[in-house]
Every structure is written in structure tokens, then in C-alpha cells.
Amino acid sequence: MQVKANLIGGQWIAGQATQENINPSDTSDVIGVFAQAAAEDVSSAVAAAKEAQAEWAVLDAQSRHDILDRTGNTILARKEELGALLAREEGKILPEAIGETIRAGNVFKFFAGECLRNTGDLVSSVRPGIDIEVTREPVGIVGIITPWNFPIAIPAWKIAPALAYGNTVVCKPADLTPACAHAIAEILMECGLPGGVFNLVMGRGSIVGEAILDHPDITAISFTGSVNTGQHVAEKCLQTMKKVQLEMGGKNPTVVLDDADLEVAVSSCLNSAFFSTGQRCTASSRFIVQEGIHDEFVRRMTEEMSALKIGPALDPNSQMGPVVDERQLVSNLKYVALAKEEGATVIGGERFDGPTTGFYQKPALFTDTHNKMRINQEEIFGPCASVIKVKDFEEAVAVANETEFGLSAGICTQSLKYAAAFKKRAQAGLVMVNLPTAGIDYHVPFGGRKGSSYGPREQGSYAKEFYTIVKTSYVSTG
Ligand code: NAD
């Protein structure tokens, strides 16, 4: 199998080590062999990004737009093939994988437009005879570090704005899922991106990630991943005074009030907790259910989740794919065991043998739980959700907010009063009313509060807060 190489300075560089990319639906399927970068490769990538930076920063907006627009169009035109690649490497079912690919294509097209919308302000001075201009410039060389669970969308929503606003990039995708980021790198080159503007260095966080964090010429880091790694990234960035943006975990609540439409509540909660095998930072893992609707909600959820067809990601009958790897599956099973130890009633959650040798787990629902249990405070990141019974809206809001995280929060209700109050009082970056906690548009800001996020928002035109730096110029008109 031909090794998929790192991209450094416009050249495909094989590197000294390699790693196989294994399909979690069928471990006998090797998707590809990928180069593993060393710290010296990161240095070469940064040197290439530095050399390319000045020219890319001043390239006319139309040319930048055209490269990003062509990239978006190519991703969209290849959505079936790239979606299948994504489903094979990450394990989400094909329709979800194609949906994610479409999102990535649209993100590139949105930021192509942003190249043409990079405006500034002309401000009156408080002194006579002076004009003030406030303009935005690229931050420089951006280090991008991404997780495995959205292997095409997350790289896209970081790479596209970085390039649109004139930065050059050194990108390290998750070592579990390098194939989609590698495909983006190939497409960017095909679409005319000058060598060195975008560099891909694949491999382990402890080697490649650390080398990116340590490099003095990288001026900003955009990271998505777990809280522990995120905190480490932030500390490292402070030491070298890098600008930093972190998107991390979630323990997202969905409140279900007595007046909810049960169909809407059950389908929202099913989607939120179990689609993409629960491996979404915006997945809901705490259903906070008012006592009047509680028993019927649990009965219907149990029925619906037991009917979910779990199987290989590319099987058209599958409604939920496998867990991403053995390590994550073992971690999920530990939480299922912990739920029992903590006194919860556990429905489902067992490992099982699928039609192929993969990492298959049934969805788990933990009932009879309270919010202080570890299963309700720690991110599990698998197909596991709890039900917490509450007496009224006030208690529901208090429980929803009683968490160190604050990414997405949902409510199912037919009351305008409670929906409006929840929108105001939920301590979260995203609020969903009668909708799943996951599933977001690509052109509006995305991010959380508290332990879920740090730094400026991602996506939409708000992305410029991170990927640009403001300059205030004073000109004497006398
Ligand atoms: P992770 O923290 O293990 O890894 C994320 C990335 O950091 C990977 O590329 C990894 O190789 C790299 N890394 C690891 N150690 C490093 C180090 N010492 N220095 C530099 N880089 C290092 O996370 P994961 O398991 O890949 O992803 C799952 C997590 O991501 C979950 O917690 C999930 O909630 C979170 N996530 C958050 C969002 C969001 O937008 N909030 C979106 C998706 C996933």
C-alpha cells in the first residue's frame, strides 16, 4: 500500500515512520498507511509556512476566494466518495458522513466569500485633523490540532478561515483519522493553493502536537479535543505567548418538561444521545425530565433505542455505527459498570459481536440517577445517556447548569414562557428549543462556555476574531 505522505512546502514528504488507519466497523479493513511526522518535519513545515506567509497575506482577495471556492466545490462534487472514506475511518454511518462532508464543502465556500468581506472601520478622531482606520491583518502562522470525531468538518472549519484571512497553516489531524485531512490537503493543492501556505503533519500528539506547541514561529493555535489536552495546550501557549482557541468537551443537558410534545422530545433525545454513536461534543448525555412525563419518556426512549439498528458504517440498514476504537469502547464500558456501582438502573450498553469484527456497543440509558453521580458529571463520549427526574422548571434549570461544561443545552416544551426563560438562563454557548443538542448551521458562531471552550468563537464571520489581529492607524489629514 502506498504511504500517504505529509505535505510540507508543497511537497509530499514520506517521513520515517508510518501508521495503518483501521476501519472501526471492520478491523480487517486497512484504509491506508499514513506517514508519521517527526519534530524536524514540524520545523520544516513551519519554515515553509513562514516563507509563504508574506505573499499569501497580500494576495488579492479574488485569488484567495477562487482557491477556497474551488476547494469547496471539489469537496461537494466528491461528497459520496469522501463521505465513504469518512465512514470507513471514523465509523459514523454513511448518511451522517456524507452530511459532514457537505458541511465541510459549504464551510470552504462560506469562507471564500469572507475573503471578499474583510472590511474595516474609518473612525472620527477626538482630535482635529486626524483620521483613524481600524483594519484586520492575519495573525501569522496558525497551528491547527483536531480530534477524530469530525475528521473532515473540524479541519475544514479551522483551515478555511485561517486561509481566508491570510494566514498560513501547519495542521495536525487526529492520529486515529488522518485520511479526510489528507484528502483536504490534496484538494487544496489541486485547487491551486501555493506551496507552503498549507502544511499537513500527521502523527501523535505527544510528538507532532508538542512540536507545534513549542515552535516559537507559530503565532496562534486552534485546538479541538478533550479538556485535559486543551488545558495543556493553553498552558503551553501562554509560555510562548501564542493566541489560543480551545473547543473541548460537553455534558450537554436536554430538559423535557411535562408539556413537551413526547414525539419531539423522544426523537430529539434519541438523535442527541445516540446518533454518530454519541461521539459528538454536542451530544446530549443528561435528560432532565419533569416527573409528570418521566415514566412515559423512559418507556418510549427504551423502546426507540432498543429498535436502533447498530452495524457497519457503510451498511445502508445501520442507524448507528461502531465506537471509534477499542480504547474508547473499554472506557465506555467502564462508565456502564460505574453507573451500576453508583446505583443507576442500566438499560443496554453491552458490547456485542457485529457482522464484522468491529467495536460494537448497544446504546445505554441510565435511569434513577441524580446529577452528582460521576456518570452525570464526566464526559463519557459514547452512546450513553442518563435520565434525571426533576419536579419543576426551576429545578430543571439548576440541574442543567450544575456542570463544569457549557457547550449545548436543549429544552423540549410547548411553553413560550419556559422556552424563552431557558434561552436566557442556560449556561451554554448553544441553546436548542425542541431540537437535538447537536446539528448546527455552518455560517453562524459555534462554541461553548465554562470548561467547554476558551477564546473566541469558531465559524461564521465571528471566526475573524481569532484568525485576525486588529490594527488601529492614525493619519494626519492636515
Ligand atoms: P484529544 O484531546 O485526545 O486529542 C485531540 C487532538 O490533540 C489530537 O489531534 C491529538 O493527537 C492532539 N494531542 C494529544 N496530546 C497532545 C499534546 N500533548 N500536545 C498537542 N496535541 C496533542 O481528543 P480526541 O479524543 O481526539 O477527541 C475527543 C474530544 O474532543 C472530546 O472530549 C470531545 O468532546 C472533544 N470535541 C470537542 C468539540 C467542540 O467543538 N467543543 C468538537 C469535537 C470534539
pLDDT per residue of the chain (478 residues) written in tens, 0 to 9? 899 999 999 999 998 899 999 999 999 999 999 999 999 999 999 999 999 999 999 999 999 999 999 999 999 999 999 999 999 999 999 999 999 999 999 999 999 999 999 899 999 999 999 999 999 999 999 999 999 999 999 999 999 999 999 999 999 999 999 999 999 999 999 999 999 999 999 999 999 999 999 999 999 999 999 999 999 999 999 999 999 999 999 999 999 999 999 999 999 999 999 999 999 999 999 999 999 999 999 999 999 999 999 999 999 999 999 999 999 999 999 999 999 999 999 999 999 999 999 999 999 999 999 999 999 999 999 999 999 999 999 999 999 999 999 999 999 999 999 999 999 999 999 999 999 999 999 999 999 999 999 999 999 999 999 999 999 999 998 8
Q: Given ligand 1 and candidates 34, 90, 149, 158, which is best to mutate, with the most ligand atoms within 8 Å of its CB? A: 149
CA dist., res. 407 & res. 147, Å (int): 16
CA dist., res. 96 & res. 93, Å (int): 6
Task: Using the structure block, give the residue that is written with the C-alpha cell 517527526.
Answer: 38
CA dist., res. 315 & res. 360, Å (int): 14
Indicate if ligand 1 lies below 6 Å from the C-beta of 331: no
Indicate if ligand 1 lies below 6 Å from the C-beta of 37: no
Q: How many CA atoms lie within 13 A of 241 on its CB side?
A: 1
**Residue 408: all three cell numbers together:** 449545548
Indicate if ligand 1 lies below 6 Å from the C-beta of 310: no
Q: Which helix (H) or strand (E) holds 35?
A: strand 26-36
Q: Which helix (H) or strand (E) holds 127?
A: none
SS3 22: strand
Condensed to tens digits (0 to 9), the pLDDT of residues 139-168 reads 999 999 999 999 999 999 999 999 999 999
CA of 314 to the centre of ligand 1 (A): 25
Q: Are 369 and 339 in contact (CB under 8 A)?
A: yes
| pLDDT attached to residue 13 | 96
CA dist., res. 58 & res. 69, Å (int): 18
Tell the residue nearest (CA) to atom 43 of ligand 1: 281
Tell the residue nearest (CA) to atom 26 of ligand 1: 147
Tell the residue nearest (CA) to atom 22 of ligand 1: 205
SS3 164: helix
Indicate if ligand 1 lies below 6 Å from the C-beta of 226: yes
- CB within 8 Å of 194: residues ≥ 6 apart: 10, 52, 55, 56
Annotation marks residue 247 as catalytic: yes
Q: How many CA atoms lie within 13 A of 3 on its CB side?
A: 16
CA of 226 to the centre of ligand 1 (A): 4
Q: Of ligand 1's atoms, which has the minimum distance to the CA of residue 145?
A: 9
Indicate if ligand 1 lies below 6 Å from the C-beta of 150: yes
Closest to 45 measured CA to CA, from 97, 10, 17 = 10
Annotation marks residue 281 as catalytic: yes
- CB within 8 Å of 418: residues ≥ 6 apart: 257, 259, 393, 411
What's the angle, vertex CA 168, arms to CA 15 and CA 182, rounded to 5? 40
Indicate if ligand 1 lies below 6 Å from the C-beta of 458: no
CA of 246 to the centre of ligand 1 (A): 10
Indicate if ligand 1 lies below 6 Å from the C-beta of 224: yes
- CB within 8 Å of 327: residues ≥ 6 apart: none
| pLDDT attached to residue 147 | 98
- CB within 8 Å of 129: residues ≥ 6 apart: 476, 477, 478
Does this model's pTM top 0.75? yes
| pLDDT attached to residue 478 | 81
Task: Using the structure block, give the residue that is written with the C-alpha cell 476574531.
Answer: 465
CA of 249 to the centre of ligand 1 (A): 9
CA dist., res. 11 & res. 13, Å (int): 6
Q: Are 470 and 134 in contact (CB under 8 A)?
A: yes
CA dist., res. 378 & res. 255, Å (int): 18
**Residue 391: all three cell numbers together:** 419536579
CA dist., res. 163 & res. 67, Å (int): 10
